[in-house]
Amino acid sequence: MLNVIRMELHRMVHSISFYVTLALCVAMSCGMLVSLTPNKNRSYEQESGYYLVTDAEGRQYRISADEVAQKEAEWQNGDVELRPLKYGEVESVNPGAIAHFIGTADMFIGIFAALFAAGFYQSGFCKNVAGMLRHKYDIFVAQMLCVILFSAIAVLFSAAGVVSIASATLHYFQLTGLLEFGMYLLGYYLLCCAIGSLALFLTHLLRSNLFPILYSVLLSTTLMTAIIAMINDRISEFFSADIDIANYFASLYTFSFRFSDTAKDMTEMLIHAVTLSICALVVYNGLGCLVLTKKDI
């Protein structure tokens, strides 16, 4: 097993797909933020409708425009200072506010897993290894570990790139809410591992990486959102209940998790993401090991 893992890790770090998909993953995450930075900064500079009040004793607090209108009579003595607050001063502009820009990582992780598994067959590497192994499912386990490692690198590099660019270009950006941001990254990383395991399994099952790559790309498009909404409507109408199929599949749950509000309690969503990811990893790895055991390589 350890020898197979070392061979697959060696094959991964010497494959072009490893570096190309990683570079594209980070570039797309950072590129989307850079392209939207001017619009975000303009929105942060707009007045929010809230005011910062400084009373005669130097205490400061925030009130809305409606509250200002109600208390104007009390403030005619000039002992209160009012300053309009901009959206950037009211909203939480922290890593959690730009976390969704990391959301393209799952697409590239699925693509890498499909390319990596297909490369095992296309390079003839399988013929040299499979005949020497007592348990052929060791190959799938080793490749899954490579995908898990690639997922960690892709998510961390994308997060580091996005936070660095936000620190340099976004107005009012602060490194706060790091616990919630860390919980977001953990949940999203586990969901990415589940997507990678699905792509790995499908590639070995079909002996082709076309469908896994198309599915991985589709997951990051608005078309998939429309498809999920249509299926939810049909199922909910049939069962006379409000059902969201994305809550039951790790690859689909990335839609809900990707755009979750990290300012709110992330604990429930993280637990749900961990549960779905573990179930998906167990199922897809079990099926993948079974495929390699039963099929001729």
pLDDT (tens, 9 = 90+) of the chain, 297 residues, equals 788 888 889 889 999 999 999 999 999 999 999 999 998 888 888 877 777 777 766 777 777 777 766 676 666 656 677 777 787 777 778 888 888 889 889 999 999 999 999 988 887 666 666 666 677 788 899 999 999 999 999 999 999 999 999 999 988 888 888 888 999 999 999 999 999 999 999 999 998 999 999 999 988 887 887 888 888 888 888 887 888 888 888 888 887 787 776 767 788 889 999 999 999 999 999 999 998 888 766
Residues 266, 162, single domain; the answer is yes
pTM value is: 0.86
* Residue indicated by tokens 């919980």: 183
Contact (Cβ atoms closer than 8 angstroms) between residue 26 and residue 105: no
Q: Are strands 47-54 and 81-86 parallel, antiparallel or unpaired?
A: antiparallel
pLDDT of residue 296: 65
Structural domain boundaries, residue 66: 47-90
Residues 35, 155, single domain; the answer is yes
Q: What is the DSSP letter of 265?
A: -
Neighbours of 266 (CB within 10 A): 23
Residues 286, 233, single domain; the answer is yes
Across the strands, what pairs with 62?
A: 52
Residues 85, 133, single domain; the answer is no
Domain count, the chain: 2
Structural tokens at position 86: 């901009």
Residues 170, 195, single domain; the answer is yes
3-state secondary structure of 61: strand
Helix 105-122 with 178-206: angle, nearest 10 deg: 30
Neighbours of 220 (CB within 10 A): 19
Sheet arrangement for strand 60-64: 60-64, 47-54, 81-86
pLDDT of residue 129: 66
Residues 233, 264, single domain; the answer is yes
